Amino acid sequence: MELLRSRGYRLTQQRRLVLDAVRELRHATPEDVFRHLRGESESVDLATVYRTLELLTELELVGHARLEGAAETYHLIDHADHVHLVCRGCGSVREAPLSVADGLAEVLRAEYDFEADLGHLVVFGRCGTCRRDNPAADDLGSIT
Partner DNA sequence: ATAATTGCAAAACGTTTGCAAAAAT
Partner DNA sequence: ATTTTTGCAAACGTTTTGCAATTAT
Angstrom distance (rounded) from CA 34 to CA 21: 9
Query: Which parts of 4-63 interact with DNA (CB under 7 A)?
Result: 5, 9-15, 29-31, 43-48, 50-52, 54
Residue 5's binding partner, choosing from its own copies, DNA, none, with beta-carbon cut-off 5 to 8 A by kind?
A: DNA
State the maximum Cα–Cα separation within the chain, in Å, rounded to a whole number.
Answer: 56
Site residues for its own copies, window 92-131 (CB under 8 A)?
Answer: 94, 96, 100-104, 107-108, 111-118, 120-128, 131
Cα 124 → chain centroid: 14
**Is residue 71 part of the contact set for its own copies (CB under 8 A)?**
no
In whole angstroms, how large is the CA radius of gyration of the chain? 18
CA distance 71 to 27: 11
What dihedral angle (degrees, nearest 10) is formed by the CA atoms of 129, 133, 139, 143?
-60
85 is a site residue for its own copies (CB under 8 A):
yes
| Binding-residue pattern over the window 29 to 68 for its own copies, x denoting contact by CB under 8 A | -------------------------x--xxxx-----x--
Least distance from C-beta 120 to DNA, angstroms? 14
Residue 28, Cβ density class (10 Å: 0-12 exposed, 13-18 middle, ≥19 buried): buried
Q: Which is nearer to its own copies, 46 or 116 (CB)?
A: 116
In the complex, the residues that contact DNA under the rule CB under 7 A are 5, 9-15, 29-31, 43-48, 50-52, 54, 70-72, 144
